[in-house]
Amino acid sequence: MSSDDAMSTPASGAPPADRDVPATERSSPSQSAPPPGALPRRFGSWYVAEHWFRTMRAYLQTMLMTGIGTPLLYLYALGVGLATLVDQNIGAGSADAGAVGAVGYLVFVAPALLCSSAVTTAVDELTYPVIAGFKWNPFFIGMHAAPLQPRQIADGIVIAVSGRLLAQSTLYYLFMLLFGAVPSGLGFLAIVIATLTGLSFGVLVMAYSATIEQDKGQMNYVMRFVVLPMTLFSGTFFPLETLPVGLHWLGWISPLWHGTELARVASYGYQEPLWLTVAHVAYLLVLLAAGVALARRITTRRLTR
């Protein structure tokens, strides 16, 4: 055998050369792996939500203390302390005493406190943390370079806040059960209603927070002149009908009023026309959809300019 033949003959057991395999049949390590950026484009919103959840771990202890302390204090102070006085004066369980007296003040106010707590938490999560993501600790810019789409960033935040609201509302509802404030078997629906209520208002606040480039105390105005009046004039502590007729519109435009009325229907069978119940749900869903769309648009504008 010549030296040329020896060089051209493969050793025993050696695999054939790649040149003997058609190019279309050659395996490549990259064939089974998704192309670069495919996963972020497909699951980007969930990556953002995961980051938001991991950030929450830094103040998990505070969240737990708030989640336990808030319902305990409010339900005891208003539901036990104030309720005793109210029920003595208007007659708990009296059908002639209106929306409050028909069930007792504790049962009346508990669903409203649940929804109000969800709104407050949503505002906490969607104000300064959103501003920080654009300005003080601009991790939104890093996410956008990952690559993640601006709308995925906005959606991921909404997903994460939804998770927190759902968990917090569940804990609050358990305390309502402990205090005997949920006579209806459908009361658990108040958990979903409270979550929807918090989100429907929170996404609007998120959209506004995304527009802030210089912090000049705008969030203080939101809390004092939007959140606080909404809590007071949305039928939270007393029926909206007890206000002067000229102030009823404050409740009608408030997502908290719509959520509170729905939660009362679920928790103790509050009687209202079916069309009004449908209107409550539709109003909250429209606010949620509009707020998410607005937040996406503003986030896109901030990150792509």
* Residue-level pLDDT at 139: 87
User: Is the predicted pLDDT of residue 147 greater than 90, yes or no?
Assistant: no
> How much is the average pLDDT of 153-161?
95
Question: The pTM is what?
Answer: 0.83
- Domain residue limits, the chain: 63-304
Task: Specify whether the CB–CB gap between 121 and 198 falls below 8 A.
Answer: yes
* Rounded Cα gap, residues 186 and 165, in angstroms: 19
- As a three-state string, the secondary structure of the chain is CCHHHHHHCCCCCCCCCHHHCCHHHCCCCCCCCCCCCHHHHHHHHHHHHHHHHHHHHHHHHHHHHHHHHHHHHHHHHHHHHHHHHHHHHHCCCCHHHHHHHCCCHHHHHHHHHHHHHHHHHHHHHCCHHHHHHHCCCCHHHHHHCCCCCHHHHHHHHHHHHHHHHHHHHHHHHHHHHHCCCCCCCCCCHHHHHHHHHHHHHHHHHHHHHHHCCCCCCHHHHHHHHHHHHHHHCCCCCCCHHHCCHHHHHHHHCCHHHHHHHHHHHHHHCCCCCHHHHHHHHHHHHHHHHHHHHHHHHHHHHHHHC
Does residue 146 carry a pLDDT above 50?
A: yes
Q: Is the pLDDT of residue 13 over 70?
A: no
Q: Which of 136, 125, 261 is nearest to 190 (CA)?
A: 261
pLDDT at 276 over 50: yes
Per-residue model confidence as pLDDT tens digits over 212-270? 998 888 999 999 999 999 999 999 998 998 899 999 999 999 999 999 999 999 999 89
Is residue 187 pLDDT above 80, yes or no? yes
Backbone φ and ψ for 180, nearest 5 degrees, come out as 70, 35
